[in-house]
Amino acid sequence: SRAGMALSVLVILLLAMLYEAIKMGKAVLLRRALLALPRSLSRELLAEPEEGGTGPAQGRWFRYHIGQTLFHVVQVVLGYMVMLAVMSYNAWIFLGAIAGSTLGYFV
């Protein structure tokens, strides 16, 4: 039905917008993670944390890294969902995905 198709296109549009928002969220978290790293960074510092636990900068960096990982998983799942919808070879669904990606990037 027309209502079902319109709803499907709207859902795909929103999923594509969410995909773009999560992509931007990952970039913001990457920037914060890089700012949380200590100024003098060596492999020994990363490989062998000081006794008595990790420092505050290292803990913040790790939390940002966990956040980036979760954002990445959600982004991959959403990307595959949009791709599977587009692979239905429906022109309206395809246009909804394109419009959602465009609007998501714009916003």
Q: What is the pLDDT along the chain (107 residues), one digit of tens a residue?
A: 999 999 999 999 999 999 999 999 888 888 888 887 766 655 555 555 555 555 566 677 788 888 889 999 999 999 999 999 999 999 999 999 999 999 999 98
Q: Under a CB-based contact definition with an 8 Å cutoff, are residues 2 and 87 in contact?
A: no
| 56-86 helix and 2-36 helix, angle to the nearest 10 degrees | 160
- pTM value surpassing 0.85: no
How far apart CA 72 and CA 102 sit, in angstroms, is 20
Helices (H), 37-55: 43-47
Residue 13 is predicted with a pLDDT of 96
Looking at residue 39, what is its pLDDT? 67
- pLDDT for the residue numbered 28: 87
Tokens representing residue 101 in the block: 């990606």
Choose among 30, 93, 98: nearest CA to 64. Answer: 30
pLDDT at 33: 80
Query: Token pair 């982004």 is at which residue?
Result: 75
pLDDT confidence of residue 9: 95
CA angle 18/14/69 to nearest 5° reads 20
As a whole number of angstroms, the distance between CA 77 and CA 53 comes to: 34
For 72, other C-beta atoms within 10 Å of its C-beta total 14
